[in-house]
Chain A
Amino acid sequence: MARVITVTSGKGGVGKTTTTANLGTALARYGARVALIDADIGLRNLDVVMGLENRIVYDLVDVIEGRARVRQALIKDKRLPEMYLMPAAQTRDKDAVNAEDMIALANEMHTDFDYILIDSPAGIESGFRNAIACANEVLIVTTPEVPSVRDADRVVGLVEASEKGPPRLIINRIKPRLVSRGEMLSVDEVVEILAIEPIGVVPEDEVILSSTNRGEAAVFNAQSIAGRAFDDIARRLRGEEVPFMDMSEQPGVLERWFGGLFRRRAKA
């Protein structure tokens, strides 16, 4: 029986697709059979982030409307033979799918995979509702910014009301230097405000951009700090106890001694 895990956020552009791609890849690297479902109908992106855009023949809506079998629509990953992608339809809108369709799809895929990860669209409308309809677990991604945290709180309320069990939190794009200067919400503060269990913290990392450019998940890159953070989350999903990365990076020596002076100068 697969664990069906939906990655959602409320606010757009906070890292759902990046998270889905990296967690799926990390889990598959540990030997799990993984299916990724892109539920962002009309704005599909998981295919390009995974570097599989040239292999698409059928999509999610083709399966739901009976034009293709699940097996025909699933695209095998380039590198990991146990990982597959179900692409979203690009030329349709979200009304082409409903919650029952998603539940039926997940039921059909249950026995062939250990994990089914679903990349949710932003928002709290039908696309989001479809994406969580078949989930047993929900991961909520936020950045440490006011609008993102606020929207995450809305989604926490909706997920809690939907009897999925408590959602878990991923705080993405944290900048330790800004946190230590008091100019960015810290992990502890975001967790305190949202009052849900964190499952991971992912720092801002330029490698995310270059990995996305190449269509290869950052978890393949041992130099990538975000890649390591996603790998940690995957291990926690597998039930391992992995300590959280220390995000309290100290400011540089100059900054520490002269920070006050510089800031004052900047204000004047």
Chain B
Amino acid sequence: MGFLDNLFGNNKRDRSAQVAKERLLTVLVHDRVKLTPDMLEQLKIELSEVIARYVPNVNPSEIDVSLLRGDSSDHLKADVPLRRTPPTGGNESDRASARFDSR
């Protein structure tokens, strides 16, 4: 049946139950962590302060924080662009990534 399913485009990943499970697991990462927009802003500001002690040119408004589901744990991922000095024009920047386990 697996072979036929693949042949006819009915492989397991396309089934709606599988899609439902993936979507639920992802949305629940966000629900469970309960990071409000205010907390998120504060997190970015404090993060940039800490990082600025070690690395120059961090702008809190450019930090991108996201929650991701991993296999054994969930992750809070922060993407911290570092502006190049002197500015090379445009929005070009090197990016430093930091990962923190969210549980």
Contacts and interface: CB of A to CB of B under 8 A. Distances in A.
Q: Do A and B interact?
A: yes
Interface of A: 145-146, 149-150, 153-154, 157, 179, 181-186, 189, 193, 256, 260-261, 263-264, 267
Interface size class of B (residues with CB under 8 A): 20 to 34
Contacts of A181: 15
B18 A193 contact: no
B8 interface: yes
A263 B9 CA distance: 9
B25 interface: yes
A260 B24 contact: no
Nearest to A261: B8
Given A150-B28, A154-B31, A181-B15, A264 B9 contact: yes
A interface, by DSSP: helix, strand, loop or mixed? helix
B71 interface: no
Interface of B: 1, 4-5, 7-10, 12, 15-18, 20-21, 23-25, 27-28, 31-32
A183 B17 CA distance: 5
A49 B10 CA distance: 42
Contacts of A264: 8-10
Which of B4, B23, B28: most chain A CB closer than 10 A? B28
B9 A267 contact: yes
Contacts of A184: 16-17
Contacts of A186: 17
A71 B32 CA distance: 43
A260 B8 contact: yes
B13 to A, nearest CB: 10
Contacts of B23: 146
B15 A183 contact: yes
Contacts of B8: 260-261, 263-264
A76 B57 CA distance: 74
29 contacts: A146-B20, A146-B24, A149-B24, A150-B27, A150-B31, A153-B28, A153-B31, A179-B17, A181-B15, A182-B12, A182-B17, A182-B18, A183-B15, A183-B16, A184-B16, A184-B17, A185-B21, A185-B24, A189-B21, A193-B21, A193-B24, A193-B28, A256-B1, A260-B1, A260-B5, A260-B8, A263-B8, A264-B9, A267-B9
